[in-house]
Structure 1
Amino acid sequence: MQRVLVAGINGAMGQYATKMINDLDGFEVSAGLGLGIKDGDQAKYHVSADTKLYGSLDEIDGDVADIWLDFTAPVAVYPDVKFALNHGIRPVVGTTGLTDDQEKDLQQLAKDKGLGGLIAPNFGMSAVLLMKFAKEAAKYFPDVEIIEMHHEDKKDAPSGTALSTAKLIAENREPHQTSPDTIETLKDVRGGDYEGIKIHSVRLPGYVAHEQVLFGGKGEALTIRQDSFDRSSFMSGVKVALQKVNDLNGLVIGLENIL
């Protein structure tokens, strides 16, 4: 039986993941971490009476889990994953907001500890396929912009998925700058810039997670779009990650690299 600590168990994604794990053969929620939660809240978070609940990293002691599933917040994810690796727990991370330097640091720590794990900007299959298709299209359409739309409570911008999409596109196209002489009469109206790729972030109620990649060419255009209408759509990817994490030799970035 694989024991899973769900970090962010009191959040929406944490609760979806908990329900999925409860129904998954060979896995159990052995512990939960969340700001403000306490022992005695087991029924509230739909876990067994034997599940240990912690309100902070400082409270965690002993051998409590084999896998650390993280759905917390950008400010918490780096110390969380570092804690997991230092305690011999394999991380599966769905929280975005890690910098490139932080990812490299965690990858080195995982190597030093001899542990595998996964950091996935998005567990939705449609998002993974969007990134794959966008990377391919970039060979033929170097002029491209990205629009990502999320719920109003998402803390980081751009989304990890949009930034990963931009990085994949940049790998597969000639260096290119669109409209370098644009005059902005409103600061930052053209969005963020990753190697000449403009990224626009929308935060509105009613949205969950959505992304459009717009390619423009002479006399034609190509739009690739994915929509996640419900957080349950991410659980198929989480399930795959949990089932494969023990086979990984390092800290892998991107769900597409283990499919």
Structure 2
Amino acid sequence: MIKIVVAGFKGKMGATATKMVLDHEKFELVGVLDPFEEKLNLNELAEYPTVDVPIFKTKEEVLSVQPDVWIDFTIPKVAYENTNFAIENKISPVVGTTGLTEAQLAELTDRSKTLNVGGLIAPNFAVGAVLMMQFAQKAAEYFPDVEIIELHHDNKLDAPSGTAIKTAEMMSEVRVKKIQGHPEEKELITGARGADFEGMRIHSVRLPGMIAHQQVQFGGVGEGLTIRHDSYDRSSFMTGVALGCEKVVHLDKLVYGLENLL
């Protein structure tokens, strides 16, 4: 059994991850973390009347249950601190919180290598989304004219999404560098053309009712190609989270992107 703690268990993704761990035959939920929760045990909450799992207020308290894996769905600042703490204490992090900087990712990766601690930070845990990114990277070799439209719920904190940034990074590895659009193009309203990533445009949509959706739109002479992925429910991410929990305990460093484990 892999002993797991979930940080951010009261959020929508954290709650879904908590239920996944409870239902998984190979996992044991040994604790959850939320500094603002007044209750001391999950069985004091209406959602978990029969679950005897402690609720911790501080990172240090988590060490008492000696978890193997630390699942994190919090916010960027907290996720960075939590991940660093987990690595320092030889707990393998599985992080779905997006918004970490390149410098933070590099620092965490270097520290994990030094301590030989496996871990995973992924902008998207849906297997279909990972395949979408890989297909887009392949297409970018032949279609350098491309734009990304990503659509999420209106409570998402970061824009563009981590998935969109990761997709653009992967495409930039194989794509011929070029600036898209007319050379004399003028934006009548600033930002109308979206964010600029090495000549590729990224557009972020934030609307209630959405979960996580991304469309990669390619254009060529006389043809077009659209690659799209939709997550209609947060359960779509749990296959990847579970896979990450199973794999990270056998790694000796932190990796970025679920594709590294497929």
**Same fold judged by TM-score > 0.5?**
yes
| CA-to-aligned-CA distance 1:161-213 (integer Å, 9 cap, x gap) | 00000000100111111024321111111111111111111110010000000
| CA-to-aligned-CA distance 1:128-154 (integer Å, 9 cap, x gap) | 110010000001100111010000110
Distance in 2, Cα, partners of 1:221 & 1:7: 42
AA of the residue aligned to 1:210: H
* Identity across matched positions, percent: 49
| 2:68 aligns with one of 63, 66, 69 | 66
Task: Report the counterpart of residue 201 of structure 2 in structure 1.
Answer: 198
Q: 1:17: Cα distance to partner?
A: 1.1
**Is residue 258 of structure 1 aligned with residue 261 of structure 2?**
yes
| 2:236 aligns with one of 223, 227, 233 | 233
SS across alignment from 2:74: coil
| CA-to-aligned-CA distance 1:9-47 (integer Å, 9 cap, x gap) | 111111111111111123111111124113434122538
SS across alignment from 1:108: helix
Distance in 2, Cα, partners of 1:185 & 1:22: 52
Deviates more, 1:172-181 or 1:32-41: 32-41
Quickly say closer, same or farther: Cα 1:98–1:186, change in 2 above 3 A: same
AA of the residue aligned to 2:85: F
**Is residue 113 of structure 1 aligned with residue 115 of structure 2?**
yes
Task: Report the counterpart of residue 23 of structure 1 in structure 2.
Answer: 23
**Is residue 176 of structure 1 aligned with residue 168 of structure 2?**
no
Superposed CA RMSD in Å reads 1.6
Q: Is the 8 A contact 1:29 1:47 kept in 2?
A: no
Aligned length: 259
Unaligned regions of 5+ residues in structure 1, if any? none
Distance in 2, Cα, partners of 1:41 & 1:51: 6
TM-score, normalisation: structure 2:
0.94
Quickly say closer, same or farther: Cα 1:134–1:189, change in 2 above 3 A: same
TM-score, normalisation: structure 1:
0.95
Task: Report the counterpart of residue 163 of structure 1 in structure 2.
Answer: 165
Task: Report the counterpart of residue 190 of structure 2 in structure 1.
Answer: 187
Q: Is the 8 A contact 2:5 2:31 kept in 1?
A: yes
